[in-house]
A and B are shown apart, each in its own frame.
Chain A
Amino acid sequence: MLTFMASDSEEEVCDERTSLMSAESPLPRSCQEGQQGEEDGDSAAQWRSQESEEDCEDDPDRYICSGVPGRPPGLEEELTLKYGAKHVIMLFVPVTLCMVVVVATIKSVRFYTEKNGQLIYTPFTEDTPSVGQRLLNSLLNTLIMISVIVVMTIFLVVLYKYRCYKFIHGWLIMSSLMLLFLFTYIYLGEVLKTYNVAMDYPTLFLTVWNFGAVGMVCIHWKGPLVLQQAYLIMISALMALVFIKYLPEWSAWVILGAISVYDLVAVLCPKGPLRMLVETAQERNEPIFPALIYSSAMVWTVGMAKLDPPSQGALQLPYDPEMEDSYDSFGEPSYPDVFEPSLPGYPGEELEEEEERGVKLGLGDFIFYSVLVGKAAAAGSGDWNTTLACFVAILIGLCLTLLLLAVFKKALPALPISITFGLIFYFSTDNLVRPFMDTLASHQLYI
């Protein structure tokens, strides 16, 4: 889900386990800020500094505008659809990259498939003699995990409602520090061990320090968009790897299912925490914490390169709360977010403006998609068909979610459809297709 609310909750959750990306920066560094910058009277700056909470309140129109779009509805719909396919691909690429990183790591580094204990959020063990007991334990684990997430979300919403921005920001920074330094160090260590590459401590510290410091700067302050996107993908992958390692088998699948249901409920129900978060942010005209949101902005300069100040009055920035995905780590619902930057009010100039359209997806979605595919890859039978089937299923689910987004134009959870497809395809491919394809391959029959 892409919403600012989610980011808060995600932060909370992240802190528990790992520091996740902090969507501190109220706005993704992108050209969109340039557009809004002009409204603020700045020059079309490409980078916008993130100065924590002051910025949030100073720049209420980052990419959110509670105003009514100036264009006629038909035009808006047409433009949305015109860019629809490109948005889908802008999300396919990072999701695919994250999954590729996770699957490559799982298949090569033994560490992430070894059982080395469990997190405190899943205290019940699955090493029980009977199937019923194991099922019960996994259900209990799921209950505990989901209640932790719910509590965190509500805590975040409360914090946000009472404007405790400093607290939230501090937490986000702590989270991303831990993720960028500690988890990267562990990951690098395991990769080096796998490939038997020797590295001395000074080099290691230099590498990790540079990686982490640049990551903190890119995510929380200014940086090139591509670098920020790359860092967000990497920390999603790291987080997903942690989940794959520490969640026991059955609990992981039940948790995935439960998270999708929670996502659906929290985003669509009127009193759902995420929905309340979105609405609060909208009321205050504030951006949601973007540190936990992956944004991919694109700029098309068709005619004029710059919008003149007088025409900016006609520019509208409709806020789409649809895309918010905030729970990176804990599966808080994510909504794909499509935003439409300002467009001139009159149709004559449509083609000659600098258009910026970005799509946002919360990091929680990345993480849970990667957990699903990674678990499929780790599933012990060494089967690639299952992994590929889950991958295609998740992409199709994402595509359908974006289609629904274009139709309904409101915040939608990005987890349910994809995870449902992914789960269906995982279990059916593992149990039905795999024996069939294996038998065919061993006799070299082709269908």
Chain B
Amino acid sequence: MTAAVFFGCAFIAFGPALALYVFTIATEPLRIIFLIAGAFFWLVSLLISSLFWFLARLITDNRDGPTQKYLLIFGVLLSIFIQEMFRFGYYRLLKKASEGLKTINPDETAPSMRLLAYVSGLGFGIMSGVFSFVNTLSNSLGPGTVGIHGDSPQFFLNSAFMTLVIILLHVFWGIVFFDACEKKKWYILLIVLLTHLLVSAQTFLNPHYGINLVSAYITMVVMGIWAFFVAGGSCRSLKLCLLCQDKDFLLYNQRSR
């Protein structure tokens, strides 16, 4: 495993997230703080789910065999429930913080809920991706041969692509989730939870990477389109943006002249 694998997988997994961070978040201090708070919330949810898994393992006395596998599956499903719960908790916290900021600073525009949805989704996603992948990445720098015992040699690539899709999915889930909470459409929360469970459950199919990755990416594209429309986009605005005829682009060009 070489430096090429390391850098390649690192950029595949974290490149888009880094670009999103640099272009949308790094310039505003408040957004950075909300991003890190989102990452912290995800971390706490992971902590609690690890605690439950650990206790479950203790209760079953660490017996080997299929029990461990079932415990793991149980741990994964529970973790997803807890993550979505913490996403809801973060939404409540942001709502309170938004109101607080508005009363104190009436003239200054506090970030809108849509922006906070995006930032929190990205925070969750980055933390989730980093925790899933960073140990694997650091191992890829060391010596070894992938798949020497008959496993797939595409281990790193698969992990990198999976990490990427999880990060982007968290962003889209965040946007859809917060919007559903704002509009009080609770069934959408259930849909988000179900898609999260679906994507995660598909990873149980590993190492049959093909089906797993393809369906995860399809889910991501669907969620992406949904999030785009939920965030206020439309086909027309997309066309204008792509043809460089949208208002912001024109205004920006005029200003620079």
Contacts and interface: CB of A to CB of B under 8 A. Distances in A.
Interface of A: 77-78, 81-82, 85-86, 88-89, 92, 382-385, 388-389, 392-393, 395-396, 399, 425, 428-429, 431-433, 435-441, 443-447
B105 A436 contact: no
B132 interface: yes
Interface size class of B (residues with CB under 8 A): 35 or more
Contacts of A86: 29
B239 to A, nearest CB: 35
B36 A395 contact: yes
A399 B47 contact: no
B120 interface: no
B219 interface: no
A88 B37 CA distance: 13
Contacts, number: 113
B37 A396 contact: yes
B127 interface: yes
A351 to B, nearest CB: 12
A446 B132 contact: yes
Interface in B147-203: 155, 158-159, 162-163, 166, 199-200, 203
Given A78-B104, A396-B36, A443 B206 contact: yes
A388 B36 CA distance: 12
A437 to B, nearest CB: 6
A384 B53 contact: no
A101 to B, nearest CB: 18
B140 interface: no
6 contacts: A85-B30, A384-B134, A392-B43, A433-B46, A440-B76, A445-B72
A443 B39 contact: no
Main secondary structure of the interface of B (DSSP, over half): helix
Contacts of A92: 32, 36
Contacts of A446: 132, 162-163, 166, 199-200, 203
Given A92-B32, A396-B36, A446-B132, 15 more contacts: A85-B29, A385-B134, A385-B135, A393-B40, A396-B40, A432-B51, A432-B54, A436-B75, A437-B50, A440-B76, A443-B72, A446-B163, A446-B200, A447-B79, A447-B132
A85 B134 CA distance: 29
Contacts of A445: 72, 76, 200, 203-204, 206
B132 A441 contact: yes
A336 to B, nearest CB: 15
Contacts of A393: 40, 43
B40 A392 contact: yes
A440 B36 contact: no
Nearest to B136: A441
B143 to A, nearest CB: 14
B89 to A, nearest CB: 15
Contacts of A388: 130-131, 134
B135 A383 contact: yes
B37 A447 contact: no
A302 B212 CA distance: 55
Q: Nearest 5 CB-CB pairs, A to B?
A: A89-B29, A85-B29, A432-B50, A436-B50, A444-B206
B138 interface: yes
B98 interface: no
Contacts of A81: 101, 104-105
Nearest to A387: B134
A80 to B, nearest CB: 10
Q: Most B CB atoms within 10 A — which of A383, A385, A392?
A: A392
